[in-house]
Amino acid sequence: MNHKNDLQLPLTNRNAKLSMIHIAKKETGIDDEAYRALLGGAAGVYSAAHIEYESQFNAVMKAFENLGFKSKPKDELKKTDTTSKRSPLWITAKQEYYIRGLWDLASRKKSITSLRKMIRRIAGVDDIRFLSKANAQKVIIALRDITKKAGFNPDEKP
């Protein structure tokens, strides 16, 4: 289970990686019992929240890959580059740019944390990168309403 490079290294980018595990569970369509068995067999835990080490995360993702899940390379988890290749199911670079622009224009509290909280409330995911196209549209509609209520016209060119 442990690799030389990640032997007992603490889990980094925890929220993104736990989100990736939950996305893999959803995309593979396994039920809760099978999910718990996968976590137990691969990482020795009953819940993804108990994953503490890179080696555990890597083992869980390998198990999901064996079930057909296609994960992003590790380097992409660290990137916030909007030009990277994206799956056709996930938010487009243009949608992400538009969401961030609307947020900067009309939000009262212009922090990433506040944006993430709104995204979590609307779409149930922890980060803008994990929005589906459909959920991105829901966020855009909500932000357009906020923009209009703040006295800005989102359709007006600067």
Residue 116 has which token pair?
Answer: 């993430």
In angstroms, rounded to a whole number, what is the distance separating the alpha carbons of residues 50 and 66? Answer: 22
Please indicate, yes or no, whether the overall pTM of this predicted structure exceeds 0.75: no
pLDDT for the residue 81: 46
What's the mean pLDDT when you consider all of the chain?
Answer: 82
**Taking the CB of residue 31, how many other CB atoms lie within 10 A of it?**
9
In the chain, the percentage of residues whose pLDDT exceeds 70 is 84
Q: Which of 6-15, 37-46, 109-118 has the lowest mean pLDDT?
A: 6-15
Question: pLDDT category, 3, cuts 50, 70, 90?
Answer: very low
Backbone angles phi, psi at 90, to 5 degrees: -100, 170
11: nearest Cα among 65, 72, 61, 58: 58
Give the mean model confidence (pLDDT) for residues 1-9: 53
111: nearest Cα among 100, 121, 122: 100
pLDDT for the residue 73: 54
In angstroms, rounded to a whole number, what is the distance separating the alpha carbons of residues 86 and 7? Answer: 30
Backbone angles phi, psi at 10, to 5 degrees: -65, 150
Question: pLDDT category, 104, cuts 50, 70, 90?
Answer: confident
Residue 142 has which token pair?
Answer: 């909500």
Domain ranges of the chain: 14-75, 80-149
Q: Which residues contact 144 (CB under 8 A, 6 or more apart)?
A: 102, 154
**Taking the CB of residue 117, how many other CB atoms lie within 10 A of it?**
13
Give the mean model confidence (pLDDT) for residues 16-40: 89
